[in-house]
Amino acid sequence: MILLLQRVSRADVSVSGSTIAQIGRGILALVGFERGDGDAELSRLGERLLNYRIFSDDNGKMNLSIQAIQGELLLVPQFTLAADTSRGNRPGFSYAAAPAEGLRLFQQFSEQLKSQYPKIGCGRFGADMQVSLINDGPVTFWLQSTNNK
């Protein structure tokens, strides 16, 4: 499982010209699933996402989580995060979870997080989405489970 986290001032996701989710200050999390991902990866990276300290405290130090600042979270499924880019000029997707499994994992992950933290919006799995964001910093982090590594 892979999460690409971007600290944002605001972000939104649209499908066919209609905004389906938007957030203010918080985290835009692009979410990718790899073959073999399961409950352990969802739980571990979900916990890390909610507790990852990427927001500044009063001393300007990244010391606060999204929960501490009561920020918002936008989850956007993105299977291309699991691409194999190690050779050639075209990415391969043999490491990515199959579409049906990716959908199941994304739904499970988003429901798991929503049960712990209410300020969450979601993109639409399998849709052609347009994502807009104002990256705050910029601050971007890559979190990855180790199941296939």
Q: Which amino acid is at 75?
A: L
**Set 6, 33, 55, 79: catalytic member:** 79
In a 10 Å sphere around its CB, with 0-12 CB exposed, 13-18 middle and 19+ buried, how is residue 88 labelled? exposed
Average pLDDT in the 16-41 region? 97
Residue 93 lies in a domain: yes
Number of domains in the chain: 1
Alpha-carbon dihedral of residues 146, 141, 78, 130, nearest 10 degrees?
180
Residue 56 lies in a domain: yes
pLDDT in tens, 110-122: 999 999 999 999 9
Residue 121 lies in a domain: yes
Find, among 111, 109, 120, the residue nearest to 21 by Cα: 120
Residue 149 lies in a domain: no
* 55 classed as catalytic: no
Mean pLDDT rounded to a whole number for the chain:
96
Distance CA(56)–CA(18), nearest Å, equals: 33
pLDDT in tens, 67-109: 999 999 999 999 999 999 999 999 999 999 999 999 999 999 9
**Set 78, 106, 109, 125: catalytic member:** 78
* 79 classed as catalytic: yes
Q: Give me 41's structure tokens.
A: 């990866």
pLDDT score of 149: 46
**Set 19, 80, 116, 140: catalytic member:** 80
CATH number of the domain enclosing 9: 3.50.80.10
Identify the domain containing residue 85 by its residue range. 2-144
Q: Which of the four pLDDT bands, split at 50, 70 and 90, describes residue 146? A: confident
